[in-house]
Amino acid sequence: MSVLSEGNEDSAHGGGIGVRKAQHGVEIGGRVRWVRVGGWARAGAVGWGVRPIHSAVAWRVSCGGEGVKGRMSAIEVRQLSCGMPLIVEPMSGVRSVGVSWLIPAGSSTDPEDKQGLCSILTEMLMRGAGDLDSRAQADALDRVGVARSCEPTTHHIRLGFALTWDRLGDALGLMTDMVRRPRLEESSVEPARQLALQALESLADDPQQRAMIACKARHAEAPYNRSGMGTEEGLGRVTRADVVAHWGARARPVGSVLAIAGAVGGMGGGMSVDEIAVRLDRLLGDWSGGADAPGADGGALKGTFHHEMDDSAQVQIVLMHDAPAEKSEDAALERVVSGVLSGGMSCRLFTEVREKRGLCYSVSQGYAADKDWGRCVAYVGTTPERAQQSLEVLCAELDRIEGAEGAVTAEEFERAVIGIRSSIVMSGESTGARAGALAMDQFKLGRARTLEEVEARYARMTLGEVNGYLSRRVSVPRTIVTLGPSALSGASASSAG
Per-residue pLDDT at 4 exceeds 70: no
Whether the predicted pLDDT of 63 surpasses 50: no
On whether the CB atoms of residues 408 and 470 are closer than 8 A, the answer is yes
Sequence-distant (6+) residues with CB within 8 A of 468 are none
Tens of pLDDT, residues 257-288: 999 999 998 777 789 999 999 999 999 999 99
Residues 27/153, Cβ–Cβ less than 8 Å? no
Question: How many distinct structural domains can be found in the chain?
Answer: 1
Q: pLDDT tier at 387 (50, 70, 90 boundaries)?
A: very high
pLDDT of residue 490: 72
DSSP 477: B
Backbone angles phi, psi at 188, to 5 degrees: -90, -15
What range does the domain containing 89 cover? 26-35+68-283
pLDDT tens-digit map of 444-463: 999 999 999 999 999 999 99
Task: Tell me whether residue 209 is in a domain.
Answer: yes
Q: Determine, yes or no, domain membership for 154.
A: yes
CATH number assigned to the domain comprising residue 73 = 3.30.830.10
The helix (run of H) or strand (run of E) holding residue 209 is helix 207-219
Q: Identify whether 450 is part of a domain.
A: no
**3-state secondary structure (DSSP) of residue 338:** helix
Query: Closest Cα to residue 480, out of 315, 320, 365, 298?
Result: 320
**Residues linked to residue 129 through DSSP beta bridges, in sequence order:** 132, 182
Spatial separation of the C-alpha atoms in residues 363 and 269, rounded to whole Å: 47
Please state, for a pLDDT cut of 70, what percent of the chain lies above it.
84
In this structure, is residue 377 part of a structural domain? no
- The whole-angstrom separation of Cα 459 and Cα 61 is 9
Q: Is the pLDDT higher at 337 or at 298?
A: 337
* CA dihedral sign of residues 42, 46, 48, 54: negative
Residue 453 lies in a domain: no
Structural domain includes residue 427: no
Domain assignment of residue 195, yes or no: yes
User: Are residues 385 and 321 in contact, defined by beta-carbon separation less than 8 angstroms?
Assistant: no
Check the CA dihedral 217-106-451-68 and report its sign.
Answer: positive
Residues 21, 3: Cα–Cα separation, whole Å: 11
**Residues forming a β-bridge with 20:** 49
How many other C-beta atoms can be found within 10 angstroms of the C-beta atom of residue 308?
A: 15
**Phi-psi group of 446: left, alpha or beta (phi > 0 → left; psi -120 to 50 → alpha; rest → beta):** left
Look at the chain and count its residues.
497
The secondary element (H helix, E strand) that includes residue 367 is strand 360-369
- Would 264 be classed as within a structural domain? yes
pLDDT tens for residues 90-137?
999 899 999 999 999 999 999 999 999 999 999 999 999 999 999 999
- Amino acid sitting at position 249: A
User: Which residues, other chains included, contact 408 with Cβ-Cβ below 8 Å and sequence gap of 6+?
Assistant: 336, 337, 340, 401, 463, 466, 467, 470
Say what the pLDDT of residue 270 is: 87
Q: Is the pLDDT of residue 211 over 60?
A: yes
E strands in 283-353 = 305-309, 315-323
